[in-house]
Structures are given as C-alpha cells and as structure tokens.
Amino acid sequence: MSERLTVFKTYKLYVGGKFPRSESGRVYEVTDAKGRWLANAPLSSRKDARDAVVAARKAFGGWSGATAYNRGQVLYRIAEMLEGRREQFTREVADAEGLSKSKAAAVVDAAIDRWVWYAGWTDKIAQIVGGANPVAGPYLNLSTPEPTGVVAVVAPQESSFLGLVSVLAPVIATGNTAVVIASEKAPLPALSLGEVLATSDVPGGVVNILTGKAAEIAAPLAAHQDVNAIDLTGAGADLARDLEIAAADNLKRVLRPQPVDWSADPGTHRLTAFLETKTVWHPTGSLGASGSAY
C-alpha cells in the first residue's frame, strides 16, 4: 500500500466573510525560509483592494454599533479558535519565518495571548480615554471615543503572525473595520487567520485580508476616499512617505512606521490611534435657582 498523498490547501483571500481568489486570477509563489515552495498565494489587485473596502464599509455600522462587551467576546473567541489550531499555526509560522518549532510555538502563544489582551480592552478603553469634562457652565459635557471607520493596515513584513495580530486586533477591538495587507513574503499565516476569523463569530467584512505586493495594494487603499485611516507599520520608508502623501487627500489618520518589539507590552497607543473623540453638550438646567433651564 502506498503512502497516503496529503491534501494541499488552496490559500485564498478573506473578503466580506468569504474566501475569494484574486479577481485578477493571479497568484505568486510562496517559499519557506530556505526557498522551498510552500504554496501559491493570491496576488491581489487594485480591484481586490476596492472590493475589500466596500466589504469593510458595509460591516462598519454593525461592528461599531455592537456592544463593547460583545466585541470583547468575539475577540476572545478568536483566541479560543486559535488555541485549537495551535499546531497548524506553529508549523506555518516556523515555515514562514524560518523559526525552530519551539520558537514558532512561543510566537503563536504570544499572538493568542494578544487577542486575549485586546478582548479585555474593548469595554475599558472608553473609560480610560473618555469621560465627563467639568465645563464652567450649566452643561453636561461628555467625551467618548468612537472608531474612525475603515482602517487600511500594512501589516509587518517580518513578523508574519504575531506582528499581524498585534496591528489588527487593536484596530477592530474599538469597532473599526480593517483591510489588511499581509506580509508579502510570508502571507500564509495571515490567510489561515482568515479561516479562524470566519469561525469566530467575527461578522463578515470586519476583517479583510489581502496578499500580494504591498506597494501595489496599499496605493489604492491610501488614496481611497472611503478609507478613514491607514497603519503604515509594514511599509518601508519610501513607500510609507508616498502612502502618507496619498492619504492626505481625504485626511486619513496615519500611523507611521516605527520600530516595534512585538513581544513587549503593547500599551494602548494602537487602540487610540484609530479613535475619534466625540464631545456632546447638553444643558443641565438649574432646579431651584433663578433663570432659564436653557
């Protein structure tokens, strides 16, 4: 009896909760750190980027309108699902980044824990950055954070999984929806993450994952009039500058690339980078005092 032939996986994009191939029909070869063929990944086009924005915008109302508690549970569910596929991701990260099995496992563990960290932030960030302001007058004045909208994310090139999770989780934790461009040379962990998200109660369109050439896909996203913000973490200096210039056209919020230690405490700045502050005033009236209530 011959040895069983394994079933390969066709890696596909994750857009609008579905797994399409690139509309362009293009793929590119993905190899491991030693140059051995791993898979063909979709080489996304500008049209794929625009389709992803449409899906992200469509999902924004529901996701930003969900309760923070609900978003927290969904993010926690992602951690649960990942935990169950820990072996698979360890293998993919080891292949993608040329890590030993134990180092890759540590990276996957950290990524799972990062989802847990951000799951806990969803219903706390408003209390940290918002609150009542003591204005000098008879008014209730309340500042609350709100998600910016659709955020384009150029994920880190080197840290294909922990880095990816570290930039994606804070964007969606607060109610934004995301279009993520995965690491160009190590896109497979990102594409597999799409399969996890699809089974974690994350509504379709909240996260959209594209693979291909970062410069080719990021340019239309940076210039897109229905994208509200862009995280340039995975862009090199020249590309980042060009994207920031394009992003100025509708005044996207821009998070510039900076060196990051993905294993360090992430802090809150990736959460706050994609939040707006809304301040609402209302007269309090003045019972028992003279003068109008307004």
Partner 1 sequence: MTSPFEYAPAPESRSVVDIAPSYGLFIDGEFTEAADGKVFKTVSPSTEEVLSEVAQASSEDVDRAVKAARRAFEKWSALPGAERAKYLFRIARIIQERSRELAVLETLDNGKPIKETRDADLPLVAAHFFYYAGWADKLDHAGYGPNPAPLGVAGQVIPWNFPLLMLAWKIAPALATGNTVVLKPAETTPLSALFFADICRQAGLPKGVVNILPGYGDAGAALTAHPDVNKVAFTGSTAVGKAIARQVAGTDKKVTLELGGKGANIVFDDAPIDQAVEGIVTGIFFNQGQVCCAGSRLLVQESIQDELLDSLKRRLSTLRLGDPLDKNTDIGAINSAEQLARITALAETGEAEGAERWSPACELPTSGYWFAPTLFTNVTQAHTIARDEIFGPVLSVLSFRTPDEAVAKANNTQYGLSAGIWTEKGSRILAVANKLRAGVVWANTFNKFDPTSPFGGYKESGFGREGGRHGLEAYLDV
Write down the least CB distance from residue 236 to partner 1, Å: 11
Minimum CB distance to partner 1 smaller for 12 or for 252: 252
Task: For residue 143, state whether it binds partner 1 (rule: CB under 8 A).
Answer: yes
**Based on the number of CB atoms within 10 Å of its own CB, is 271 exposed (0-12), middle (13-18) or buried (19 or more)?**
buried
- Count of alpha carbons within 13 Å of 71, Cβ hemisphere only? 27
Minimum CB distance to partner 1 smaller for 17 or for 138: 138
Q: If you count DSSP H runs as helices and E runs as strands, how many of each does the chain have, helices first?
A: 10, 10
Task: For residue 33, state whether it binds partner 1 (rule: CB under 8 A).
Answer: no
Q: What stretches of 82-194 adopt beta strand conformation (E)? A: 131-132, 139-147, 150-154, 177-181
Distance from the Cα of residue 254 to its chain's centroid: 14
d(C-alpha 2, C-alpha 212), whole Å = 37
Task: For residue 281, state whether it binds partner 1 (rule: CB under 8 A).
Answer: yes
Q: Which one among 280, 287, 290, 291 touches partner 1, defined by CB under 8 A?
A: 280
183 neighbors 160 (Cβ within 8 angstroms)? yes
Task: For residue 35, state whether it binds partner 1 (rule: CB under 8 A).
Answer: no
Contacting range for partner 1; rule: CB under 8 A; set: 70-78, 180-188, 193-201, 277-285 = 277-285
d(C-alpha 235, C-alpha 156), whole Å = 8
Task: For residue 141, state whether it binds partner 1 (rule: CB under 8 A).
Answer: yes
Residue with tokens 């940076």, as numbered in its chain: 222
Q: Which one among 67, 128, 158, 236 touches partner 1, defined by CB under 8 A?
A: 128
57 neighbors 120 (Cβ within 8 angstroms)? no
Query: Binding mask 205-244 vs partner 1 (x if CB under 8 A, - otherwise)?
Result: -----------------------x--------x--xxx-x
Q: Which residues pair with 254 in a beta bridge?
A: 230
Q: Which one among 135, 199, 263, 286 touches partner 1, defined by CB under 8 A?
A: 135
The residue ranges that bind partner 1 (CB under 8 A) are 128-129, 133-137, 139, 141, 143, 148, 228, 237, 240-242, 244-245, 247-251, 253, 256, 269, 276-283, 294
